[in-house]
């Protein structure tokens, strides 16, 4: 996906100024999507690990039962990820997650998220720290100070 076009071009005294506001919001949105994608991969792996601690059958299909959809478009202000048990592989996993009359509630997906909040924050923080380090290198403090007379 290419970067969107810049919106504003102003020429004043021979200096051309180009506004990259759309480019910046595009970059931040893409970083948020990348962070959510990595969080979904991590939660899927944690679910698979906890699933095979409870059940002996080792087919390797447990993580395939967890689907992740990242919602991000022009109409969404903030990207988000939806995790859930879907499809044929997640049919029995749904009953194990929420429980039924003869199946106790395990909540493996719920616990995979709740028990790893600090790791999820760390994963998302890696993306935000990249923004912070870029901002420090681009901003010159001498230019931002205001001289009071």
Q: What percent of the chain has pLDDT over 70?
A: 65
Q: Are 70 and 79 in contact (CB under 8 A)?
A: yes
Helical ranges in the chain per DSSP H: 21-54, 91-98, 108-114, 117-138, 141-144
Q: Which of 51-65, 72-86, 119-133 has the highest mean pLDDT?
A: 72-86
pLDDT at 149 over 50: no
- Contacts of 112 by beta carbon, 8 Å cutoff, 6+ apart: 43, 46, 47, 50
Q: What is the pLDDT of residue 21?
A: 63
User: What pLDDT is recorded for position 23?
Assistant: 63
For 33-76, write each residue's pLDDT tens digit. Answer: 888 999 999 998 898 888 888 887 766 676 678 888 888 887 77
50 Cβ neighbours under 8 A, 6+ residues apart: 108, 111, 112
| Contacts of residue 98, Cβ cutoff 8 Å, sequence gap at least 6 | 105, 107
Span 81-92, mean pLDDT?
77
| Angle at 26 (CA atoms; ends 17, 125), nearest 5 degrees | 115
pLDDT of the residue at 42: 92
Contact 71, 81 (CB under 8 A): yes
- For the whole model, what pTM was predicted? 0.69
Domains in the chain: boundaries: 16-137
């Amino acid at each position: 996906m290419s970067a969107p076009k810049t919106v504003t071009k102003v020429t004043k005294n021979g200096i051309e100024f180009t506004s990259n506001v759309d480019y910046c919001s595009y970059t931040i949105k893409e970083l948020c999507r990348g962070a959510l994608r990595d969080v979904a991969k991590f939660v899927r792996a944690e679910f698979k690990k906890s699933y095979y601690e409870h059940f002996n059958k080792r087919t390797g299909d447990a993580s395939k039962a967890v689907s992740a959809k990242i919602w991000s478009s022009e109409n969404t202000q903030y990207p988000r990820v939806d995790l859930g048990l879907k499809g044929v592989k997640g049919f029995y996993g749904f009953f194990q997650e929420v429980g039924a009359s003869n199946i106790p509630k395990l909540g493996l997906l719920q616990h995979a998220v709740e028990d790893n909040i600090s790791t999820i924050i760390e994963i998302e923080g890696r993306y935000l720290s990249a923004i912070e380090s870029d901002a420090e290198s681009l901003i010159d403090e001498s230019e931002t100070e205001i001289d009071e007379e």
